[in-house]
Amino acid sequence: MRILLRTFPVLAVACATLTPALDAAKKPVYRMNFMPPAAKPLPPAPLITDSPQIEPDPYGREAAVLEQRAIPRLNRPSDVDFRLRQADEFFAQGKKAYQDGKIDEARRAFNRAIDILLGPKDGQGAREALPEPGPERARLERRLEQMVDDIFHYDLDGLGASNSQDKVAYDKAPLDGILNLSLPIDPELKKKVTEEVRATASGLPLEEADAVTSYINFFSSDRGRRTIIGGLKRAGRYSPMIQRILGEEGVPQELIFLAQAESGFLPRAVSNKQAVGMWQFVQFRGREYGLNQTSATDDRLDPEKATRAAARHLHDLYNQFGDWYLAIAAYNCGPYCVEHAVARTGYADFWKLRSLGVLPKETTNYVPIIVAMTIMMKNAAAYGLDNVVPDPALEWETVKLTAPTHIALIADASDRPLSEIRELNPALLKPIAPAGYELHVPKGALGNVETAFALVPESHRATWRMHRVGHGETLASIAKRYGMSATSITAVNREVTAPEAGEMLIIPAAYQTDQSFLPKVYGSSQAKTRNSRYTGRTQVTQRTTGKAVASTGVRAKGKTSAAVTHAAVRRPVTRQAAVGKKPAAKPVARRPQGIATAALR
């Protein structure tokens, strides 16, 4: 008991000591880690004595920059631009309608395109005036001429305004009408020409003479000006090719005006002496320089081949006479004529021979015409010829045929009018080009033509065609257009059941054209053995009013005689059927118009 009493004061003191510590431990502790630090006192602001100068429009410069960077303003198209765009749209509609066989619709669209380019009509039916002379008017006239030419090509193929194209059409040589003219001399013009000759540089020697001045005066008249301007326009089609060949053969570039005088750059020009082509070769002279003639082709009508032959012939004549005027005279009347005149007189000078009258009258005027044209072209501005717009240059690629081929197949494969293929091949006298012929195709279309050759067998290239499927066309509609059954088309296009727009189909068509020339190309002695190769192995001809049946089983109805050619028919062929008289060129009754019948004319 004493012990407890003694320890009690000690415990009491200890409890009194621990109680404040425990109370302090139970109080909440507030941490300051999540609170922002105390802000530092700011330095005293400087004392402002003067007010700052504020720009009146502080954002004006930035606004100008933003305005410059805004969406650019679109220039309003000119009236000419609008008319050109509208005309092109209608022309495209007409082309599509033509390809779809809708001839009337195509004609209306083409007419509408031309009307737009010519300008709107007023209330009395008169057309508004064209724009003032200048670049805009030149654009409009250039597109109008190009569109008229394109529509003319389609018109030749099937719009209904043209004649049969199986016959070759020749143009009259413009030289025939001016060689025998007696023209006056203008003294004032004589002085002008003399000064121009002195100041003109030319690879062909230029001389002033009364005859030269007279023809310059003639070509400055209305009649002569039409002749020379027409030739200048057509020269654009062939001048790049002619200049290249003249340079390769080493003759003066000015000799291009010889072609201008001879033909006016018409590939099928013919003279009253039966000289033909752009360079007017007669038959024997053409053969002398490799221009061969057959019943199917005439190389004298080929612009490139004829230009090469003319350049070499002129080069040979210059080497013979040593004078360009005598060489040109010999080109007209023949080297023997000039040689004989020189031998008779002892003068090797054209002007002296002309004055002595020992050359034909046509030849005495022929050389002055060439010289006059050269002087005028070298000084085009002085004669108002510097604003003549030449036609675009014809560009083509060449493919050598391995089998007789109808040019309609080439037109189908290249997607060009049939008449354009004819224009590129003026030397082709028949619609079927023989094997070995070097055919010109539009530039850029060679790949398509080679693809067509890979699809169409050689034995069928003279008769079959190709067709590009249009929107909404079916096998039935295509077959009806070509006058055959749909099964005939599917038989040669085995993977095609529902053709899509833009797809090319092979059409096993049969042409009603003259193929009698094909055996003759290789000689009549080989007609029997080669007939099956070039006429599709048989030629079934019925002269009655019945039905001609092809190998596909398709019945071609008609009241006129029909000639059906097809390679799959294996019946014996007689020589008379192959090389006899050609059938009458009458249209097959009730055959749809359009591309399908263009080759049948």
Please give the average per-residue pLDDT across 492-509, as a whole number.
84
What domains sit in the chain, N to C, each tagged with a CATH number? 79-120+133-162 (1.20.58), 172-383 (1.10.530.10), 517-598 (no CATH)
Between residues 173 and 587, which one has the greater pLDDT?
A: 173
Please give the average per-residue pLDDT across 307-323, as a whole number.
96
Q: What is the pLDDT of residue 415?
A: 87
What is the distance in angstroms between the CA of the first residue and the CA of the last residue of the chain?
A: 154
Between residues 407 and 595, which one has the greater pLDDT?
A: 407
| Residue 532, H or E segment | helix 527-534
Q: Which of 91-95, 124-128, 148-152, 214-218 has the lowest mean pLDDT?
A: 124-128
Please give the average per-residue pLDDT across 411-415, as a whole number.
91
pLDDT band at residue 80 using 50, 70 and 90 as cut-offs: confident
| Residue 518, H or E segment | helix 517-520
Entry pTM: 0.63
The angle that helices 303-321 and 335-345 make with each other, rounded to 10 degrees, is 20
C-alpha span between 401 and 450 (Å, rounded): 10
Between residues 241 and 559, which one has the greater pLDDT?
A: 241
Between residues 14 and 113, which one has the greater pLDDT?
A: 113
Q: Is the pLDDT of residue 388 over 60?
A: yes
pLDDT band at residue 462 using 50, 70 and 90 as cut-offs: very high
Q: Which of 512, 503, 491 is nearest to 467 (CA)?
A: 503
Q: Which of 89-103, 216-230, 448-462, 546-560 has the lowest mean pLDDT?
A: 546-560
Please give the average per-residue pLDDT across 204-224, as a whole number.
90
Between residues 188 and 29, which one has the greater pLDDT?
A: 188
Between residues 448 and 509, which one has the greater pLDDT?
A: 448
Most confidently predicted of 47-61, 254-268, 519-533: 254-268
Residue 73: count other Cβ atoms within 10 Å of its Cβ.
Answer: 6
Q: What is the pLDDT of residue 16?
A: 53
- The CA-based angle 340-263-228, given to 5 degrees, is 110
Please give the average per-residue pLDDT across 303-324, as a whole number.
96
Please give the average per-residue pLDDT across 267-277, as a whole number.
90
Q: Which residues contact 428 (CB under 8 A, 6 or more apart)?
A: 296, 297, 407, 422, 437, 439
Q: Is the pLDDT of residue 352 over 90?
A: yes
Complete DSSP assignment for 561-584: -EEEE-TT------HHHHHSPPPP
Beta bridge partners of 121: 127
pLDDT digits (tens, 9 = 90+) for 169-198: 778 888 777 877 777 778 888 889 999 999
Contact 463, 406 (CB under 8 A): yes
Q: Which of 174, 277, 268, 170 is nearest to 227 (CA)?
A: 174
pLDDT band at residue 539 using 50, 70 and 90 as cut-offs: very low
Structure tokens at 374: 């050269």
3-state helix, strand, coil in the chain (%, to 5): 50, 10, 40
Q: What is the pLDDT of residue 324?
A: 96
Q: Which of 89-93, 398-402, 507-511, 584-588 has the lowest mean pLDDT?
A: 584-588
C-alpha span between 55 and 58 (Å, rounded): 5
Between residues 150 and 70, which one has the greater pLDDT?
A: 150
Exposure string of 355-393, with b = 16+ CB inside 10 Å and e = fewer, is: eeebbbeebbbbbbbbbbbbbbbbbeeebebeeeeebee
C-alpha span between 500 and 471 (Å, rounded): 8
Estimate to the nearest angstrom the gap between the alpha carbon of 329 and the chain centroid.
36
Structure tokens at 89: 């749209």
Q: What is the pLDDT of residue 419?
A: 84
Please give the average per-residue pLDDT across 557-568, as a whole number.
33
The angle that helices 361-378 and 210-219 make with each other, rounded to 10 degrees, is 60
Residues across the chain: 601
Mean pLDDT of the chain: 75
Contact 423, 388 (CB under 8 A): no
C-alpha span between 117 and 168 (Å, rounded): 32
Contact 526, 559 (CB under 8 A): no
Please give the average per-residue pLDDT across 50-69, as a whole number.
59
Q: How many CA atoms lie within 13 A of 238 on its CB side?
A: 27
Structure tokens at 596: 């399908």
| Residue 466, H or E segment | strand 465-468
Q: Is the pLDDT of residue 53 over 70?
A: no
C-alpha span between 513 and 497 (Å, rounded): 31
Between residues 11 and 367, which one has the greater pLDDT?
A: 367
pLDDT above 90 covers what percent of the chain?
A: 38
Q: Which residues contact 15 (CB under 8 A, 6 or more apart)?
A: none
Q: Which of 94, 97, 98, 136 is nearest to 119 (CA)?
A: 136
Q: Is the pLDDT of residue 129 over 70?
A: no
Between residues 13 and 480, which one has the greater pLDDT?
A: 480
What 3-state DSSP class applies to 488?
helix
Q: Is the pLDDT of residue 162 over 50?
A: no
Q: How many CA atoms lie within 13 A of 69 on its CB side?
A: 6
pLDDT digits (tens, 9 = 90+) for 354-379: 999 999 989 999 999 999 999 999 99
The angle that helices 103-118 and 79-99 make with each other, rounded to 10 degrees, is 170
What 3-state DSSP class applies to 355?
helix
Q: Which of 358, 475, 457, 342 is nearest to 409 (CA)?
A: 457
* Cα-trace Rg, the chain: 43
Q: What is the pLDDT of residue 347?
A: 93
